Amino acid sequence: MGKTIAEKMLGKHAGRETTAGEIVMADVDFIMSVDGNRPLSIQVFREMGGKNLFDPKKFALVIDHAPSSPTATVANTLKLVRQFAHEQGCILYEAGEGSCHQLLPERGHVLPGDLVIGTDSHTCTYGALNVFSTGVGVSDAAATMISGKLWFKVPETIRFVLKGRLPAGVYAKDLILHLIGSVTADGATYKAAEYVGESISALSMDGRLTISNMAVEMGAKAGLMEADEKTLTWLKGRTNRPFEPVVSDPDARFVNVLEYDVSKLTPQVALPHRVDNVVPVEEALGKPIQQANIVACTNSRLEDLEIAASILSGRRVHPGVRLYVVPASRPVQMEALRRGILQALLEAGGILGVPGCGACSGGSHFGVAADGDHVITTANRNFRGRVANPEAFIYLASPATVAASALEGKIADCRKYVR
Amino acid sequence: MLLKGKAHLFGNDVNTDDIIASKYKSSTTDMLEMSKYLMGNVDPDFVRRIAPGDFIVAGSNFGCGSSRETAPRVIKLAGLSAVLAKGFARIFFRNAINVGLPVVECDTGGIEEGDGLEVDLSAGLVRNLTRGTEVKVAPLPAVMLELLRDGGLSEHFKKHGTFHLQSIDEGN
């Protein structure tokens, strides 16, 4: 019997053959932890009796959830993060460097075939690079920081076979929202999602990262893709470490194989307050909005900013709308600066935030909406209270839909602005 | 392990922002202080109605959303003894066991607000003392039982210094 990517990867790291359903102890290649956890993983590490990291080169601390250091309490927490990194000699990404889920792939820390954990639920993002990566709590992270190992239940896999190419004005975000709406918020709980097909091959790495990022919104443990020529090209210059991509065998056993033809897909919107409350944009058109966010580890990469800028360039956002822009990382911000993308966004009225989790995580203290406000965002969650105010209403959409809606002051169809 | 208390009902897809909103972490790092805001966005009076040992009883996909371990920690610190649900989100499920909060997967359909419950973890049964009914609990994997018996993952590491799990065949 053949094996899935998930079975092979966990098997490789456990040092034995594994099949879905088994529980294994596996060697972890990389651990990421963020400033947003309470308690911090480094505090639990101490509580557990941890003295030294099993390997400081395999552990990164990222200050991204509250990079603007909004309160003294937060500032003191960030101080602990910096002290720990200094003492242990581990990797530290300082405030302003960007969101963990952009930094780990961008800086070559996570490579095809790797097993990676992070103390943020969207750690599944690296599945786009053929990495088995999953979100964990601080206790699991701390235990791994000490031992280099963690136990995993080998998940069953749902395979999404995505046929056809996305039409103009329809993007990776629309595709993943459509899939989540179709399988629901717990449709893949305890399982791995595997995305294959022409639709995925045609996407850029930025688009693929958007899709894997949201695997957890259908409950999945990982959102896996195969590594192709695009992946290998994208990785060039980012690492010297050898790696080994993994594919599912032709006779692998999937718990479900779901086929979609995406060639007729339209822009999608997730309505408040559920990520799986997804409708075609036609059903949400005209809903007045007061805030538009191009932010978060889902959709604030260069391609996303570029698409938004192409719609907003030479125009002004609607006077009743605040447009927040938070680039995924400093390199993304710098490249957007060089290409005139930031200029276009700022001239259109955009408000620029510190690279990181601003206007998505409620702990960021950036872009908090008022009571009764309707917010359209490129982020991955529209839970009530997500951006620190339970009286606001959040809609999820692609950067193009958010940009078009910012111009019109209401939810709009981006396709009329896309050539 | 025998747990006894009243049922507090919640629906499907209770997410981690519902359980504990992330805004509170900017003003305090004290988990006990944070536990006063348990379910603050959905039911601000909830914490005042809890008697020690009570249960959260919910539908499917409890704890979906972020990986914040704050969620099971504040449930435990608020005095609740377990969460009963038809289903749990994966990360929450692990986090709960890691902090020593029992998570009980069972058919919660027949339980009403305020029902007196007795949860027998060893027998794998939930008895509804108000209604005189009982439902079976989906058994936890052996590895989770081991961790729960030690009082969570921190306690496990304090005791053993590393992973020491009898139920996992490490294959080497």
Please give the structure tokens belonging to residue A21: 């359903």
Token couple for A80: 């602990």
List the structure tokens of A288: 């007045």
Quote the tokens at residue A211: 């899709």
Pairing relationship of beta strands B125-128 and B116-120 according to DSSP bridges: antiparallel
C-alpha A319/C-alpha A409 separation (Å) is 8
Which element (helix H / strand E) includes A324?
Answer: strand A322-325
Q: Is A121 part of the contact surface with chain B (CB cutoff 8 Å)?
A: yes
B172 has a pLDDT exceeding 60 = no
Please state, in angstroms and rounded to a whole number, the distance separating the CA atoms of residues A373 and A389. Answer: 10
C-alpha B59: how far from chain center: 13
Q: CB A1: neighbour CB atoms within 10 A?
A: 8
Question: Which pair of structure tokens corresponds to residue A275?
Answer: 């990520």
DSSP string, A326-368: --SBHHHHHHHHHTTHHHHHHHTTEEE--TTTTTTSGGG-SSP
Q: Which residue has the tokens 């972020």?
A: B66
**Residue A196, SS3?**
strand
ipTM > 0.90? yes
Which candidate from A73, A139, A146 shows the least CB-CB separation from B27?
A73
DSSP assigned state of A302: H
CA proximity to A62, closest of A111, A28, A110, A96 = A96
Domain ranges of chain B: 2-140
Determine the Cα–Cα distance for residues B23 and A361; give it in Å rounded to an integer: 9
Q: Are residues B41 and A143, on separate chains, in Cβ contact within 8 Å?
A: no
Of B21, B69, B163, the CB nearest to A143: B163
Subunit contact B154:A221, Cβ cutoff 8 A: no
With CB atoms and an 8 Å threshold, state whether B17 touches A39: no
Distance CA A96, CA A22 (A): 41
Predicted local distance difference test score (pLDDT) of residue A334: 98
Spatial distance between the Cα atoms of A346 and A331, rounded to a whole number of angstroms: 18
pLDDT at A382: 97
pLDDT at residue A171, rounded to an integer: 98
Separation of alpha carbons B20 and A327, rounded Å: 27
What are the chain A neighbours of B170 within 8 Å (beta carbons)?
14-15, 25
pLDDT tens per residue across all 419 residues of chain A: 899 999 999 999 999 999 999 999 999 999 999 999 999 999 999 999 999 999 999 999 999 999 999 999 999 999 999 999 999 999 999 999 999 999 999 999 999 999 999 999 999 999 999 999 999 999 999 999 999 999 999 999 999 999 999 999 999 999 999 999 999 999 999 999 999 999 999 999 999 999 999 999 999 999 999 999 999 999 999 999 999 999 999 999 999 999 999 999 999 999 999 999 999 999 999 999 999 999 999 999 999 999 999 999 999 999 999 999 999 999 999 999 999 999 999 999 999 999 999 999 888 999 999 999 999 999 999 999 988 899 999 999 999 999 999 999 999 999 999 97
Is there a contact between A186 and B64 (Cβ–Cβ < 8 Å)? yes
Q: Give A147→chain B minimum CA distance, Å.
A: 6
Beta bridge partners of A291: A322, A375
Q: Which residue has 């190419």 as its token pair?
A: A165
What gap in Å lies between CA A209 and CA A386, rounded to an integer?
22
Residues of chain B in contact with residue A41, where contact means CB-CB under 8 angstroms, are none
Identify the DSSP state of A21.
T
- How far is the C-alpha of A156 from the C-alpha of A188, rounded, in Å? 9
Q: Which CATH number fits domain B2-140: 3.20.19.10, 3.40.718.10, 3.40.50.720, 3.20.20.450?
A: 3.20.19.10
pLDDT of A51 reads 97
How crowded is the C-beta side of A375, counted as CA atoms within 13 Å? 34
CA distances from A240 to A13, A102, A148, A229, A364 (A): 20, 19, 22, 17, 34
The whole-number average pLDDT for the span B63-75 is 97
Please, what are the domains in chain A? 5-260 (3.30.499.10), 269-416 (3.30.499.10)
Percent of chain B topping pLDDT 70: 98
Instruction: Summarize the confidence of residues B49-59 as an average pLDDT.
Output: 98
Put simply, the answer to whether B23 touches A146 (Cβ < 8 Å) is no
Backbone phi and psi for residue A327, each to the nearest 5 degrees, phi listed first: -65, 150
User: Exposed, middle or buried by CB within 10 Å (0-12, 13-18, 19+), for B172?
Assistant: exposed
Look up residue B55 and give its DSSP letter. Answer: E
If pLDDT is split at 50, 70 and 90, which confidence band does B1 have? confident
Contact B89 A186 (CB under 8 A): yes
**Looking at CA atoms only, how far is residue B128 from chain A in angstroms?**
27
Q: Do A397 and A376 touch, CB atoms closer than 8 A? A: yes
- DSSP single-letter state for residue A57: G
d(CA B12, CA B9): 10
Judging by DSSP bridges, how do beta strands A30-34 and A59-62 pair with one another? parallel
* Interchain CB distance below 8 Å, A139 and B95: yes
Who among B26, B87, B153 is closest to A189 (CB)? B87
CB contact under 8 A, A383 and B65: yes
pLDDT for res B26: 85
The H-or-E segment that residue A110 falls in is: none
